[in-house]
Amino acid sequence: MRDPLALITTFFIVACDPGGSGGSGTDDDGTPSTTDPDTSSTGTPGDTSGTGGGDDDTDPGTTSEGSGGEDTGILCEDLDQLDPRRVLIETRPAVLEAIDLAEVLAAISTNAGLDPDPLATHDALFDTYRVAAMGELDGAHCDDEQVDGVPSLNGFPLLCPRSEGAFAAFDGALDGWLAIAMVNRIDMAPVDGSHCGEQRIVFANPSMVGRAFIIIEAQIPNPAPGCGVAACGPVASLWAELDAVDDPLERRSRLRAAFIDGDPDLQAAGFGPFMSADNLTFGTGQIRTNNFVTGPWTLRQYELVPHAVGSQTVARPVPVPVSASPHDTLWNDLMASPVGSQCRQAMLDALPGLLGDDPATLGWSIPEACRSSESVEFQDFYEEHLASGSGSFVAAIETELDALAPGSGLDAFDVARRAQFAGSCIGCHEHSADVSLGGGLVAPPSLGFVHVTEELTEPCGGGGDCFAISPALSDVFLPRRMEALQQALSEACTDGCAASAPAPRPGFALPPVGTSVAELHARERAATGGGMTLGGRPVGAGH
């Protein structure tokens, strides 16, 4: 069987002038994996229908030709036949059972030129749930920042300490993690191709009291941003080829190579292993935790930075505010906040992202100064805080609605509910389930704080069972993400622009050891791009 990635690589080497890849996108990715848009991009979406248009007799292995007649190696026929459970999300236990968190954390360091110490990276992540006086390591702790004596992050309160800190000192805690999903988020790629979206691995720890999850969200740099989304074709094709692969061992082998070890054909096309600290630092992707060891449920976000420990340089997580989630008190103009006025104006500016008629495309990008320290159960009830204000912000939202969407029937409280669903982590994961969003939209349900569960399996086609996914994923998000994957494949099929490029140099996106927190956040702000994603959401909209 012909290897499409090898064919893609051949085309990349012969078909493109490397000097034409001077894109204006940001380094490595652009914005963190949970954050997406802000400003306008110059890219235009490709044809989502594909260009092959073949009938049922067409060999699905048929490839397209580039502008010079070369075989691009990208499969362009029957794109509408792809199975989302095979090309967008892998949750088969038979595939995932040998994907080990310790191995992934080691690869994240090694692939970025750092010294691998997976236990230290794991423990440092959960040490952030402890106060400094009880911490196990010399990294970040939840009381490092305080406002009026209250533990805080980004100026907003942070639950501190929490029981999850026990993971940092519990022998064997690293061994208890189970991979439950590998996820293709090419839909998060900006339409201008400034990066190629995200590739994620979700881990759960069923061995502990309560529930705990780690989501590693690597943002994939475009090796030839001047070529736009077409240069992301090898990543899209990697997943599309899995549609025809039933053998769980072969599926695992292909995904392991791309995510952990480095796939030779992807590397020849300019793509290093997805799991790299370069793809998980300020200005690129992120790591998130979703935990309920003790109540309330909380979701937090981190970036990786290099940290010197003796003669070694290891990956160390730094807590950051959660993307696209304004703190709930900002909706109430009667509650004093040094950033209140500017954040309410930012919400008005971002309002267009919440006015669509498809829940999968709702989203907004909020400035870092407005983002909450964490997303917590029994918090982020935006509608209630809006109703508790003076009424001025309600009036401002409705004035903006009259200008942007006259006759839509939406009001300010619909906007608040849409923001809770599309922006707040806890909204999408639980609070907004089955809530009316106005305009005839209803927020789709999760599986109770998660969208992939370690507690249930379900049939998913091709034989065998999969870890279950939420109705929101299966019925709303995956169909829209499939359109984005088809668009990426279509652009790669029809656009002859590509580039030969070496795989990224390990460590290319990492800040120097000792970079100040202020400088790190400046890197993040500088990397935040704008425009729309292939998935139809604003860049930087998160989730």
pLDDT digits (tens, 9 = 90+) for 365-422: 999 999 999 999 888 899 999 999 999 999 999 999 999 999 999 999 999 999 999 9
Residue range 233-274, pLDDT digits in tens: 999 999 999 999 999 999 999 999 999 999 998 998 999 999
255 with 379, same domain?
A: no
Q: Is residue 537 part of a domain?
A: no
Does residue 49 or residue 512 have the better pLDDT?
512
Query: What dihedral do alpha carbons 465, 189, 198, 312 form, nearest 10°?
Result: 170
- Please give the Cα distance from 242 to 493 (Å, whole number): 18
pLDDT at 428 over 60: yes
- Please give the Cα distance from 527 to 279 (Å, whole number): 13
361 with 494, same domain?
A: no
Residue 498's pLDDT band (cuts 50, 70, 90): low
pLDDT (0 to 100) of residue 72: 52
Q: Is residue 139 part of a domain?
A: yes
Residue 173's pLDDT band (cuts 50, 70, 90): confident
Output the CA–CA distances (angstroms, integers) from residue 517 to 112, 318, 374, 510, in the order listed.
20, 9, 18, 14
Residue range 51-92, pLDDT digits in tens: 333 333 334 455 545 444 455 566 677 788 999 999 999 999
What is the arrangement of strands in the sheet containing 156-157, beginning at the earlier edge strand?
145-147, 150-153, 156-157
Helices (H) and strands (E) in the chain, counts: 16, 17
pLDDT at 28 over 50: no
335 with 469, same domain?
A: no
pLDDT (0 to 100) of residue 499: 54
How large a percentage of the chain has pLDDT more than 90? 75
306 with 381, same domain?
A: no
| Count of CA atoms in the C-beta half-sphere (13 A) of 385 | 23
215 with 256, same domain?
A: yes
Does residue 296 or residue 26 have the better pLDDT?
296
Domain boundary among 410, 431, 452: 452
Q: Which helix (H) or strand (E) holds 465?
A: strand 465-469
Beta carbons of 448 and 426 less than 8 angstroms apart: no
187 with 224, same domain?
A: yes
388 with 247, same domain?
A: no
Please provide the average confidence, as pLDDT, over all residues in the chain.
87
- Asked which of 65-69, 146-150, 223-227, 284-288 is least confident by mean pLDDT, the reply is 65-69
Domain holding 482, by residue range, is 4-322+463-502+512-527
Q: How many domains does the chain have?
A: 2
Q: What is the mean pLDDT of residues 416-430?
A: 90
pLDDT (0 to 100) of residue 45: 34
277 with 206, same domain?
A: yes
Beta carbons of 293 and 208 less than 8 angstroms apart: yes
Pairing of strands 150-153, 375-376: unpaired
125 with 10, same domain?
A: yes
Does residue 353 or residue 1 have the better pLDDT?
353
pLDDT (0 to 100) of residue 63: 52
Residue 497's pLDDT band (cuts 50, 70, 90): low
